[in-house]
C-alpha cells in the first residue's frame, strides 16, 4: 500500500524537471516556476509517506543544517530541526543576541564561518520591512562567493523560514493541506479564498503570511479576496504579484475593507492579524535609530489602532456567511483564540475548536515542505535518490 | 566475556512480558508492575554493558527526542541527551522562558507542534505542587489524541524526568545501583534504608526524590525509615503508597522526626534536603498570582526555618550509628557538602569523600535507565532487537 | 585525483608514530613533539580532502562531544560542532551562566556527570590569567580518575579550544594555512613573521593567540618578531618557550616595541589586539573578588591606555615595508577593520580586503584541525581507519 502510493508519487516526480532547484536557494515562491513548486509538493508528500511508513530518508551521512532565527520561534525551529534530522543533518543554531540589522563584512564573514561543514542554512528574519529578504541575499552572496573562491567545499543552500516579504514554507504547507483537503490539486481552481485581517491584542505581527498566501494561492486559479481595515495594507509589490498570478491562472484577486464581503460564499477562510504597514515601516526606522521611547509609543499607538477593529473576529455568524456555512478555516498557528489564549482575538473558540485538527494537519506539512526544499537543492536526481531509499527499506 | 554476560541478561529479558511498556509513557514507578520495572533494570544493564563494550545501540535511524525542562538542569539534561544519542535520536530542547503554569490549548498545541518527527518526549517540571505531573498528562493526552486523529504518524512516548510527585529515572538509577552494590536483587530484602531530610542553605528543593525513594524501595522488602523535622512532610499519597508497598513486599515503612533513629543500624542512608511541604504549596500559590514580594518573603522564612535544623547533618558520628558503621551513603547529586560546596550542608566532606565514587557510579546508571525507558516504550520485542544489535557487532 | 592525493597523505601518516596522542588530551602545542604536530596536520589535511570529496569520516556510531564555553563564541563553537559531526559525534553544550572561577568538587563532579556517554570534551576558558588551563587540567584529572575507578566506560579526551596560555586549534590552523600558502612545510624556515599588537577599541582580548603563534611558529625555523607597546607583554613562560624553540629550530625570536621594525621585510604579518598583561591580571583579581566598580574602572583605564597606541594600525603604508610589499596578512578573525567593523581598528579596509579570502581559508582549517585532534586521541591506528573509510567510499 505504502509501496504503491510511493511508486506513483515518485514516478510523477521523475517527470518533473528539478534542475532549477538544484544548487539554488528557496527565498520567494514567486521566483519559482510552476514545476519547481510542483516538485516541492511531490517531494514533501513522498517524504511524509516515507516517514509514516518508517522508511529512512537520510540522504546525508553527516553535515550541518544551520538555523538563524532573528526572532523567537518554537514551531519553525522544530520544523527545521525535524526536517534536517530526517535527511541526516545536524542542526546548529546561530543564536544572535537580539534582532538586529547587520550588513556588509559582518554578515559576509559570519556567513562563511558557519558554513565550512554546512549543507543548508535556514533563516528567519521577519522583523524589519526591507531587511529580512535582503539579509538572506547577502548571506547567499557570501557563501556563493566563498564557494567560487574555493573557500567552501560545498555551497550551502538557503531556505527562507520567514522574511519581510514571504513565508514560503508556511504558504506551501498551507497549499499542500488544501490539495489534500480538496482531494486533488485540480480542484483548487475556482475556490474562493478569504485572506482576512483579524483583530489581535498583540503587536507587530509580520506581513509575510498574508503576502505569502495571496501570491501563492492566486497561481492555482483561485479567487482570492484580501480583506483588511484601512491602513493594514500589504507591500505593494506583493499585491501586484497576486494580480499578475490571478490573471495568468484564470483566478482573481481583489482587496476589500469589509471582512463579511470576503467571507461571503468563501470556500476557504484565513483570518489572521498583522501589523499596519506604516507601523512596520516606522518600527524599522526607530529600531535602526535605537529609539526605545519611540518604539514604546509606537506599540501603544498600534495597539490602540488595532482595538478600533476588534469586531474583525472570525465567529460562527461570520462562518455562516461562507459557502454552505462550511468554509475551511486555516491558520498558521498559534491563533489568538477568544477566551482561550486571550480575552478577545482572531477567532472564537467555537470556530477554532471545529477546525483544530485541520490546523494541526496543516502545520504537520511544514517539516516535510522544508525537508523537500532542502533535498531538492542538494540532490540532482531526487526521484532516483528517493526510489533507492524506498527500495532499500521495503 | 561481554558476550556471555549480555547473553544471560538478554535471555532474562526475553522472559519478561514488556507489552505493558510498549507505546506507553513512564510517569510514575507506582503505576508500573514489578515485571515492568524489572524490564527497565534489565534493559539498562544490557545497554550499559553494550556501551562499555563499544556495541552500537542505535535502534533509530532518525527521529527527535524532545526535552522540556521547566527548571534548570545539567545532569538530567546530559543523561537525557546521552540516552537519546545512544539510541540514535537527536535531542531538541524546548526551552521555555521560565517556569510557568500553562494549561489548555497552549499546552495541547505546543505538544503537537513539537511532535511531528518526535519519538520521545522527556519532561522535567518539579517546581509546583499539583502541577508537574498534571502537565505531563496533558502533553500525553494531546499527543495521544493527535495520533488517533492521524495528525501524528507516531505517538511519542513520555519519560518523566522529575515532577512534583516522582523522580522515576533517579529512584530507578538509585535502586539499580543498590542491586549491583549488594550483588543481586534478592539481597535487598531486609535491608534498612534511612531516607532522611538533611540541612541545606538552599531553598525550595523538590520533594520528588524522597517521594520516589520511599515508594520504590518499599517494593523490594526493605525497611524504609523516612526521617524529617516537623513540617517537612511529603505528599500524603506517596506515604500511603509506601505503606502499601511495604505491606505487600514484606518490608516496612515508618516516619520519624529523629535522624539518629533512622540511621541506627541502617544499611543504606540517603540524607538529602527538601523544602517544607507548606512552603511548596504556598510557593505554587504565590507564583500563580505573580506575587514577587510574597515569594521573596517566603524564601527568607523558609531559609530561617531550615536553619533551625542545621544539626540534621550526615557526619562521621551519625554514620557510626549505622550497621557496623558502614552503611552505604547515597545521594542524587549535587550534594551540599559542608566546607566544600557550602559552609554547612547535608553531609560532611569526610563522609562524602568516602562515598564519592559510589555516588558517581549511582549517577552513571541514569542515562541507561532513561535509554531503557525510551527503548521499551518504542520497541515491541526488546530482547530480539538487542540480541540483533549484539550479534551484528560481535 | 582525490584518491591519489589521499593515498599519499595517508601513506605519510602511516609513517608517523601517533601513540603519544592516543588517549591523551591536546592542551598546549609545546607539550607535543614534532611528530605529534605533524600527525595533526596530516590528519587535518586528509579529513579536509575527504570532506571536499564527499567521503564520510564518521569513525563513531554514537557518542557525545561536550563543549564548555566560558566565553561567548560563534566561530569556535561552529568549528567544534562541525568537527564533531564530521566524526559522528553529537555536540552537547554545557552552558554556564557566566564566566566563573570554579574548582574542587564542583568541577570534578560536573566533569564526571557530563562524561558518561562522552568521547570528547572541548573547553574554551580564556578570561582569567592562571585559570583557563588549570581548569582544563582539573577536568582532565577528574575524568581520568573516574575512568580508572570504573565509573566511566571510556576516558573522554580534552581539546583546548582556547585558554589563558595557548590557542592550539587556532595556531595550528594558522600554520597549516602557511604550509599550503607557501607550497610545502619546508619553505617555512627563514620566513620572517611579525606577530604584532594592533589597536582596537575593544577591551580585554585574550593573550592566547599571540602566545600560541610565537611558541608554535618558532618551531619551524621562522624568524618571529613580537611587537607590542610597552606594558602589552605576554606571559613570561611563553616568551621563554619561543626563545627555546627558535634556538632548536634554527629560527629566531625577538621582541620589539616598534611595529615598523617588525613589519620591515616580513613575509608574514599578524597584527592583532590584546589586553595589557597587567590589566588581565588585575581583572582576574577583581572578578575573583566580585568587584564590579573596580572592573568598570579598569575597563575605562584600559581603553584609554589602548587609545595611546591608536597608530598601531596595519595599513597600506605599513604593508609597503614588508618583503616586496607583499607579506601575507593573517588574522584569527573577526578583525577590527577601520571604517567597517569599527571607526579605527587593527587593520585598514584596503589591506583587509586584499587578504580577506586568505583569512577565510585560514579559518577554514580550524574544524579539520579540531577533528584531527579528536580523531588522533580516540583512534589507535589512524592511517588504517582513514584508509578503510576511503576504500569504502571510493
DSSP assignments along B90-122, one per residue: EEEEEE-SS-----THHHHHHHHHT-TTEEEEE
Can you give the C-alpha Rg of chain B in angstroms? 21
Q: Which long-range contacts (CB under 8 A, 24 or more apart) does A10-13 make?
A: A10/A46, A10/A383, A10/A386, A10/A387, A10/A390, A11/A383, A12/A42, A13/A39, A13/A42, A13/A43, A13/A46, A13/A382, A13/A383, A13/A386
pLDDT of residue C295: 87
Q: ∠ at Cα A255 (A252, A256), nearest 5°?
A: 125
SS3 content of chain B, % helix, strand, coil (to 5): 50, 15, 35
What separation in angstroms does the CA of B65 have from each of A84, C71, C304? Answer: 14, 28, 51
Go through chain B and tell me how many residues it has: 394
Q: Do C151 and B364 touch (CB under 8 A)?
A: yes
Cβ atoms of B101 and B132 closer than 8 Å? no
CATH code, domain carrying B8: 3.40.50.1370
Q: What is the mean pLDDT of residues B371-386?
A: 98
Q: What is the mean pLDDT of residues B277-297?
A: 86
Kindly indicate whether the ipTM for this predicted assembly is greater than 0.90, answering yes or no: yes
Q: Do C90 and B86 touch (CB under 8 A)?
A: no
pTM greater than 0.90 (yes/no)? yes
Chain A partners within 8 Å of B155 (Cβ): none
The answer on B383 and B320 residing in a single domain is no
> What confidence tens digit (pLDDT) does each residue in A294-320 have?
988 988 888 888 999 999 999 999 999
Q: What is the mean pLDDT of residues A114-133?
A: 93
Of C345, B63, B362, the C-alpha closest to A55 is B63
Phi and psi angles of residue A211, each rounded to the nearest 5 degrees, phi first: -65, -40
The answer on A355 and A265 residing in a single domain is yes
Given a cut of 70, whether residue B101 has pLDDT beyond it is no
> What confidence tens digit (pLDDT) does each residue in A202-249 have?
877 899 999 999 999 999 999 999 999 999 999 999 999 999 999 999
Q: Do C81 and A90 touch (CB under 8 A)?
A: yes
Per-residue confidence band for A98, with pLDDT thresholds at 50, 70 and 90: very low
The full DSSP string for A270-325 is EEE----HHHHHHHHHHHHHT-HHHHHHHHHHHHHHHHTTTT--B-HHHHHTSGGG
Q: Which A residues 60-99 touch C at CB under 8 Å?
A: 61-64, 66, 90, 92, 94
pLDDT of residue A253: 98
The answer on A89 and A28 residing in a single domain is yes
Of C87, C41, C34, C95, the C-alpha closest to C64 is C87
Q: B46 lies in which domain range? A: 2-166+366-393
What separation in angstroms does the CA of C386 have from each of C21, C59, C89, C280, C380? Answer: 16, 9, 16, 43, 11
Q: What pairs with residue B197 in β-bridges?
A: B272
Of C157, C169, C114, C50, the C-alpha closest to C376 is C157
CA distance A75 to A63: 23
Q: How far is A337 from chain B (nearest CA, A)?
A: 9
pLDDT of residue A373: 98
Q: How far is A151 from chain C (nearest CA, A)?
A: 5
Alpha-carbon B220 to chain mean position:
17
Percentage of chain C beyond pLDDT 90 is 83
CA distance B302 to B203: 7
Q: Do B90 and A90 touch (CB under 8 A)?
A: yes
Residue B8 touches chain A, beta carbons under 8 Å? no
Query: Could you count the other beta carbons within 10 Å of the beta carbon of residue A90?
Result: 25
Q: What is the mean pLDDT of residues B118-147?
A: 94
Show the cell assigned to C128: 582569567
DSSP assigned state of C156: P
| CB neighbour burial string for A207-233, b if at least 16 within 10 angstroms, e if fewer | bbbbbbbbbbbbbbbbbbbbbbbeebb
Q: What is the mean pLDDT of residues A115-142?
A: 94
In terms of C-beta density within 10 A (0-12 exposed, 13-18 middle, 19 or more buried), how is residue B307 classed?
A: exposed
3-state DSSP assignment of residue B17: coil
> What confidence tens digit (pLDDT) does each residue in C137-176 have?
999 999 999 999 999 999 999 999 999 999 999 999 999 9
Show the cell assigned to B6: 549480555
Show the cell assigned to C392: 569504502
Show the cell assigned to C88: 559522528
Q: What pairs with residue A66 in β-bridges?
A: A92, A121
The answer on C331 and C194 residing in a single domain is yes
Q: ∠ at Cα C169 (C166, C173), nearest 5°?
A: 120
Q: Which long-range contacts (CB under 8 A, 24 or more apart) does A284-287 make?
A: A284/A128, A284/A129, A284/A130, A284/A131, A287/A99, A287/A101, A287/A127, A287/A128
Q: Could you tell me the sign of the dihedral formed by the alpha carbons of B209, B212, B214, B219, in that order? A: negative
Average pLDDT, chain C: 94
Residue C339 touches chain A, beta carbons under 8 Å? no
Q: Among B62, B63, B112, whose Cβ lies nearest the Cβ of A360?
A: B112
Q: Among B57, B334, B360, whose Cβ lies nearest the Cβ of C151?
A: B360
| CB neighbour burial string for B350-384, b if at least 16 within 10 angstroms, e if fewer | ebbeebbebbbbbbbbbbbbbbbbbbbbbbeebbe
The answer on B321 and B204 residing in a single domain is yes
User: Torsion-angle region of residue B252: left (phi > 0), alpha (psi -120 to 50) or beta?
Assistant: beta
Q: What is the mean pLDDT of residues C218-240?
A: 97
Domain count, chain B: 2
Per-residue confidence band for A191, with pLDDT thresholds at 50, 70 and 90: very high
CA distance C365 to C173: 5
CA distance A38 to A32: 10
Name the closest residue on chain A to residue C362, using Cα atoms. A151
Residue A393 touches chain B, beta carbons under 8 Å? no
Q: Which helix (H) or strand (E) holds B136?
A: helix B132-148
The answer on A130 and A109 residing in a single domain is yes
Residue B58 touches chain A, beta carbons under 8 Å? no
The answer on C300 and C162 residing in a single domain is no
Of A353, A310, A305, the C-alpha closest to A329 is A353
> What confidence tens digit (pLDDT) does each residue in C302-336 have?
888 899 999 999 999 999 999 999 999 999 999 99
Q: Among C63, C105, C153, whose Cβ lies nearest the Cβ of B341?
A: C105
Half-sphere exposure of A68 (CA within 13 A, CB side): 25
> What confidence tens digit (pLDDT) does each residue in A9-27 have?
999 999 999 999 999 999 9
Given a cut of 80, whether residue C98 has pLDDT beyond it is no
The answer on A379 and A283 residing in a single domain is no
Q: Which helix (H) or strand (E) holds B349?
A: helix B349-364
Mutate to test the interface with B, among A173, A356, A358 (most CBs of B within 10 A): A356
CA distance C277 to C256: 16
Whether omega before B334 lies within 30 degrees of 0, making that bond cis, reads yes
pLDDT of residue B1: 61
Q: Do A78 and B92 touch (CB under 8 A)?
A: yes
Name the closest residue on chain B to residue C150, using Cα atoms. B361
Q: What is the mean pLDDT of residues B68-87?
A: 91
The answer on C148 and C236 residing in a single domain is no
Q: How far is B117 from chain A (nearest CA, A)?
A: 6
Number of B/C CB contacts below 8 angstroms equals 70
The answer on C10 and C121 residing in a single domain is yes
The answer on C183 and C119 residing in a single domain is no
Residue B339 touches chain C, beta carbons under 8 Å? no
Q: How far is C114 from chain B (nearest CA, A)?
A: 6
Q: Do C364 and A116 touch (CB under 8 A)?
A: yes
Show the cell assigned to C361: 581559508
Q: Do C91 and A94 touch (CB under 8 A)?
A: no
Q: Which helix (H) or strand (E) holds A368?
A: helix A366-378
CA distance C123 to C169: 11
The answer on B243 and B129 residing in a single domain is no
Amino acid at each position: 500500500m505504502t509501496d504503491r502510493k510511493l511508486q506513483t508519487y515518485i514516478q510523477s516526480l521523475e517527470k518533473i524537471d528539478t534542475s532549477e532547484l538544484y544548487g539554488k536557494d528557496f527565498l520567494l515562491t514567486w521566483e519559482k516556476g510552476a514545476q519547481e513548486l510542483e516538485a516541492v509538493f511531490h517531494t514533501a508528500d513522498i517524504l511524509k509517506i516515507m516517514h509514516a511508513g518508517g522508511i529512512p530518508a537520510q540522504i546525508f551521512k553527516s553535515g550541518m543544517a544551520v538555523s538563524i532565527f532573528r526572532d523567537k520561534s518554537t514551531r519553525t525551529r522544530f520544523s527545521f530541526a525535524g526536517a534536517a534530522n530526517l535527511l541526516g543533518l545536524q542542526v546548529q543554531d546561530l543564536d544572535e543576541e537580539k534582532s538586529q540589522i547587520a550588513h556588509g563584512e559582518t554578515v559576509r564573514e559570519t556567513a562563511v564561518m558557519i558554513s565550512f561543514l554546512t549543507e543548508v542554512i535556514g533563516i528567519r528574519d521577519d522583523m524589519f520591512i526591507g531587511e529580512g529578504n535582503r539579509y538572506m541575499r547577502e548571506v547567499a552572496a557570501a557563501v556563493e562567493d566563498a564557494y567560487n573562491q574555493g573557500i567552501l567545499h560545498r555551497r550551502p543552500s538557503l531556505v527562507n523560514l520567514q522574511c519581510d516579504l514571504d513565508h514560503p514554507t508556511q504558504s506551501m504547507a498551507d497549499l499542500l493541506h488544501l490539495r489534500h483537503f480538496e482531494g486533488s490539486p485540480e480542484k483548487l481552481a475556482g475556490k474562493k479564498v478569504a485572506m482576512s485581517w483579524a483583530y489581535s491584542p498583540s503587536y507587530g505581527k509580520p506581513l509575510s503570511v498574508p503576502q505569502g498566501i495571496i501570491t501563492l494561492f492566486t497561481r492555482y486559479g483561485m479567487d482570492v479576496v484580501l480583506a483588511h481595515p484601512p491602513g493594514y495594507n500589504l507591500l505593494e509589490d506583493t499585491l501586484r504579484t497576486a494580480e499578475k498570478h490571478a490573471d495568468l491562472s484564470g483566478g482573481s484577486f481583489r482587496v476589500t475593507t469589509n471582512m463579511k464581503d470576503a467571507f461571503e460564499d468563501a470556500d476557504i477562510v484565513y483570518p489572521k492579524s498583522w501589523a499596519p504597514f506604516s507601523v512596520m515601516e516606522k518600527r524599522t526606522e526607530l529600531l535602526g535609530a535605537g529609539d526605545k521611547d519611540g518604539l514604546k509609543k509606537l506599540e501603544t499607538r498600534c495597539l490602540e489602532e488595532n482595538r478600533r477593529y476588534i469586531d474583525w473576529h472570525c465567529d460562527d455568524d461570520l462562518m455562516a456567511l461562507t459557502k454552505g456555512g462550511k468554509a475551511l478555516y486555516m491558520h498558521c498557528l498559534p491563533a489568538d483564540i477568544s477566551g482561550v489564549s486571550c480575552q478577545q482575538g482572531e477567532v472564537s473558540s467555537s470556530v477554532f475548536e471545529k477546525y483544530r485538527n485541520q490546523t494541526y494537519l496543516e502545520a504537520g506539512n511544514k517539516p516535510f515542505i522544508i525537508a523537500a526544499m532542502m533535498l531538492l537543492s542538494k540532490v540532482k536526481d531526487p526521484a532516483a535518490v528517493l526510489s533507492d531509499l524506498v527500495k532499500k527499506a521495503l
